Amino acid sequence: MIRGSIVALVTPFCRQSSKVDWEALKNLVDWHVSEGTNAIVAVGTTGESSTLNLAEHQKIIQFVVSASDGRIPIVAGTGANSTNEALELTAAAKDAGADACLLVTPYYNKPTQEGLYQHFRIIAESVDIKQILYNVPSRTACNIDVDTVLRLADLSRVVGIKEASGDMERAVNIIANRPRDFAVYSGDDPTARRLMSLGGDGNISVTANVVPKSMALMCDFALAGDENRAHEIDSSMRELHDTLFVESNPIPVKWVLSKMGMIENTLRLPLTCLSLEFHERVQLAMRRANITQKTST
């Protein structure tokens, strides 16, 4: 079971061409290994998977697996609102050597609970790789009921869930009734520490993109039951948790990474760069989190 800080990694693009910046991506992987991140999610929501074509999606997974060189587990984002597409992406991730897959609920078409169960069941029975469910109803307009989660948890290849609803009562219900080897991860930075204190297994994090060492330490302390030190570190990131969502993710986090000199501040349409009105607020959060700015505003 993967535990601790799992970064939902951005996908860097070149400013002139909007093509994937492979050098920057390699540098990000190396940085997360050195900073103590416990695992990387490639091409999830934060990785702008919705603007990548199928070939790019598969190539990024292959590249991140290769760049990690076995030093850190790689979880591939392979969800889709078409079961056949999710199957293809999941099979490609297995072939690329990913350690697990993260499968978001089918978005937009709003399946029934039985439809959700059958969608994930078919993928789990078809592809021999560990699979993590991803529940983020604020983005997908689709919520997996707790009963459906527990039903899916009985499938041997379904090993966990990224719970990004922020609903602690729901998370506690899953934790209390899950099989012993089924992981529950936070997908909501502001409530991640609390979820881990209630028995959760880690945090699939946006904030970890910019303060990986702090997030890894916070998760270590939270999982060890050291509430005081976990709270202290989490408090130092609190403003980041909020400001990294002043506009749609990953707009703010890519802006911060560009100011750190890690990537170009480039997104693909329909996403646009951080609005000028938020620059000062995000820079203030950077200063309070002791993030060094290397490029001018």
Catalytic residues: 134, 162
Task: Give the distance, in angstroms, between the CA of residue 183 and the centroid of all CA atoms in the same chain.
Answer: 15
Q: Give the DSSP letter of residue 292.
A: P
Helix (H, G, I), strand (E, B) or coil at 63: helix
- Measured distance CA(105)–CA(169) in Å, rounded: 20
From the CA atom positions of the chain, what is the Rg in Å?
18
CB atoms inside a 10 Å sphere around CB 222? 27
CB atoms inside a 10 Å sphere around CB 175? 17
Give the side-chain half-sphere CA count within 13 A for 147.
Answer: 3
Closest C-alpha among 265, 201, 253, 211 to residue 236 = 211
Find tokens 């999610």 and name the residue: 41
User: If phi over 0 gives left and psi between -120 and 50 gives alpha, with beta otherwise, what is residue 51?
Assistant: alpha
User: If phi over 0 gives left and psi between -120 and 50 gives alpha, with beta otherwise, what is residue 101?
Assistant: beta
